[in-house]
C-alpha cells in the first residue's frame, strides 16, 4: 500500500504542472492510473493533489473532459477572453519548450565534447564536426517549428483582439 501511495505522489509531483487530479482505474486485480476518466468496465477513484495533500475519493461518475485543442479549434465553445488566455498559455509553453531545447542542446554538445576528449580526437575531426552539425541542425529545427507556431498564435491572438475591439 505504501508503494502505491509513494508511486501516486511521485507521479503527481512529476506532473504537477499538467493536472491536479488523476484517476485510479480498477478492474479485478489490475490498477491503472490515468489523467482522463476511466473506461466503463473499470471502477474509478479520483485522486486529487492540492497544497501538498493527496485525497482519494471513490467516484464511479464519469467526468467529461474537453480537449483544450478542440476548445481552441472550436472557438464558439469558449469565450474570447478564455481563448486569449489559452493562446497566451500556449505561447508561454512553447517559449518554455524552446528554453528547454537550448538546455538539451548544451547538454548534448557537452556529451559530444566529452566523448571526443576521451577518444583523443581533435576538434577538427570530421566525424566530430559532423555530429555537432547534425545535433545543431536537429535542435535548430525543433526551435524553428516552435517559433513558427508562436508567430501563428500571436497573429491569431491579434485577430481575436481586433474582433473584440470592433464588437465593442
pLDDT along the chain (168 residues), means of 10: 54 48 83 80 79 69 61 65 86 92 94 93 92 94 94 91 77
What does the block give as the cell for 89? Answer: 498559455
Q: How many CB atoms sit inside 10 A of residue 38's CB?
A: 22
Instruction: Name the nearest CA neighbour of 106 among 141, 132, 73.
Output: 132
pLDDT value of residue 76: 57
**Which residues, 6+ apart, have CB-to-CB distance to 17 below 8 Å?**
none
Q: Are 148 and 106 in contact (CB under 8 A)?
A: no
Q: Cα torsion for 36, 40, 45, 46, to the nearest 10°?
A: 30
pLDDT value of residue 15: 43
pLDDT value of residue 27: 84
**Which residues, 6+ apart, have CB-to-CB distance to 73 below 8 Å?**
none
Distance, CA of 29 to CA of 107 (rounded, Å): 42
Q: Are 88 and 157 in contact (CB under 8 A)?
A: yes
pLDDT value of residue 16: 42
What does the block give as the cell for 1? Answer: 500500500
pLDDT value of residue 109: 94
pLDDT value of residue 128: 92
pLDDT value of residue 34: 80
Amino acid at each position: 500500500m505504501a508503494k502505491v501511495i509513494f508511486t501516486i505522489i511521485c507521479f503527481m509531483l512529476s506532473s504537477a504542472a499538467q493536472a491536479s487530479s488523476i484517476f485510479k482505474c480498477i478492474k479485478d486485480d489490475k490498477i491503472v492510473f490515468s489523467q482522463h476518466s476511466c473506461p466503463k468496465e473499470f471502477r474509478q477513484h479520483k485522486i486529487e493533489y492540492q497544497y501538498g495533500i493527496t485525497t482519494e475519493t471513490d467516484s464511479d461518475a464519469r467526468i467529461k473532459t474537453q480537449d483544450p485543442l478542440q476548445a481552441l479549434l472550436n472557438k464558439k465553445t469558449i469565450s474570447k477572453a478564455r481563448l486569449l488566455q489559452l493562446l497566451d498559455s500556449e505561447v508561454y509553453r512553447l517559449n518554455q519548450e524552446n528554453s528547454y531545447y537550448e538546455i538539451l542542446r548544451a547538454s548534448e554538445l557537452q556529451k559530444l565534447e566529452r566523448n571526443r576528449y576521451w577518444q583523443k580526437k581533435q576538434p577538427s575531426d570530421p566525424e566530430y564536426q559532423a555530429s555537432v552539425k547534425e545535433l545543431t541542425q536537429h535542435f535548430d529545427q525543433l526551435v524553428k517549428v516552435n517559433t513558427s507556431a508562436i508567430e501563428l498564435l500571436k497573429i491569431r491572438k491579434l485577430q481575436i483582439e481586433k474582433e473584440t475591439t470592433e464588437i465593442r
